[in-house]
Amino acid sequence: MFETHKIDTFFSGEKNVFDEDEINFISRRTKIVRFFKLFLPSLTALLLGLGVVLFDFNSSQETTLTMADDEKIYFEKFRIKNTVFEITEKDNQLSIIKADIVEETIPGKKIYNLINPDAVTYDKDKTITLKSKTGAFNQNNHVLDLKEDVVADYNKELKIKTNSATYNFKTEQGFGKEKISGSGNKGNFTANSFSFNKKVGSITLIGDVILNSGDMKLVTPKDATLFTNDNKFVATNATATKAKDSIKGDTLTVFFKDTKNFEIKKALSSGNTELYSGGKKAYADKGEYLAIDNIVNLYGNVKIVDARGYTATAKKGIFDNNKKTFTLLEDVKITQGSSTVLTPKAVYFQTKDEFRFYDGVTITQEDTKATAETGVYFTKKNIAELEKNVVIIKSGNMVKGDKAVSDFNTSKSRLIAGNGKRISGKLIENNLKDKKD
């Protein structure tokens, strides 16, 4: 039963204890054991890797992954509901961005797509809210992009709507390249695009700007800036229209009672100012509209040009829209053909279509000069009448009377005596002999 040869050989140290078949079997078994020892750890690692890829590791508010800051590993972009971002701006005020759903665009890049974003920031003591249907937030540079039905509410005073807008919480500036509209209780505006600067407290409307405030309308093809903290609107190459009257300037500054009502207090025009009223145009270096009094003041190189041929100039002009009068002051000059009127003060009455002269008036016509204390110019008849201490001088001859009529059509003046009064004067011969004779 016992193979003594093999046992003796084992104890004696001889190598060939087993036969050749047994030796081959032992070799194969050893190789298999070694194979499993090496393969099983690799297989385990492979299965773990497949588990990472195949199974969904979506994050949520209840899910937290703790990793070393310098060894962060992002397996897949995450998606979170009802998320809040908090941003501390340069003025140490806290801005907040909320969204129904936040989803990373690229794993680990801190750039997120937003569903129903809702942002809140502050302009001093005023609250600004921003809402839209979709958006994106770059946490690296704190830039918020809003898309679809964007609505900005400025302290519940001014509501602005557009279809896309971008706001940078670091620079506190924003912009939009699509059509924008805004509304308050008593006014509204539209434009092609806009920019926003929270530091300055300004909204600049760009391209085809239209602002409506009660019965006044402001229009500019260029740009207009609304300064919310100062309640004013500064427009370039703008025209403000009320009923049939309008004022235009290179720069038009409009002051409101507040941005909620857009009720105009006054407007200032500078550079190439034009006033249009009653079919007439007045020009000046600058102008001022006072809403309470319904008056327009014009300053510097004031000029009225009438289609019938006369031109009136002065240093200052006052248009009273209630009384329908236009007062010219300081160095007033009215020119019609070869006839010229000089006076310190002239008032144009729009309903009567006539000028009245005060504080002294002088009319010159070719070789004739007429002076008086007061006078009136009937623009339709193109005739002027002078009254009180009238003096006419022509070719050295002087006559005095109570009233004179100067016809601008013929460039002739004649003196008229009052009831029971006479004309007096001094006549000088033109053909005097030479003193040498």
Tally of CA atoms within 13 A in the half-sphere of 399 that contains its CB: 15
- Which of 36-40, 383-387, 426-430 holds the top average pLDDT? 383-387
Residue with the larger pLDDT of the pair 288 and 215? 288
Distance (Å, rounded) from C-alpha 399 to C-alpha 380?
A: 28
Q: For position 21, what pLDDT does the model report? A: 54
pLDDT digits (tens, 9 = 90+) for 292-303: 999 999 999 999
Q: For position 77, what pLDDT does the model report? A: 62
Q: For position 31, what pLDDT does the model report? A: 56
DSSP letter for each residue of 298-358:
EEEEEEEE-TTS-EEEEEEEEEETTTTEEEEEEEEEEEETTEEEEEEEEEEETTTTEEEEE
pLDDT band at residue 401 under the 50/70/90 scheme? confident
DSSP conformational letter for 309 = S
Residue 118 in this model has a pLDDT that exceeds 90:
yes
Contact 126, 120 (CB under 8 A): no
What is the dihedral angle through the alpha carbons of 426, 429, 433, 434, rounded to the nearest 10 degrees?
Answer: 70
Residue 116 in this model has a pLDDT that exceeds 80:
yes
Tell me the pLDDT of the chain averaged across its residues. 81
> What are the backbone dihedrals phi and psi of residue 29, each rounded to the nearest 5 degrees, phi first?
-65, -40
Distance (Å, rounded) from C-alpha 330 to C-alpha 345?
A: 6
Q: For position 290, what pLDDT does the model report? A: 92
Residue with the larger pLDDT of the pair 428 and 226? 226
**Which percentage of the chain shows pLDDT scores above 70?**
77
* Low-confidence winner among 66-70, 116-120, 162-166, 188-192 (lowest mean pLDDT): 66-70
**CA 232 to chain CA centroid, nearest Å:** 10
| 211 closest CA partner among 264, 268, 162 | 264
Residue with the larger pLDDT of the pair 328 and 228? 328
| 314 closest CA partner among 331, 298, 292 | 331
- Its pTM stands at 0.70
DSSP conformational letter for 433 = P
Distance (Å, rounded) from C-alpha 186 to C-alpha 290?
A: 18
Residue 58 in this model has a pLDDT that exceeds 50:
no
Residue 19 in this model has a pLDDT that exceeds 90:
no
Q: For position 237, what pLDDT does the model report? A: 95
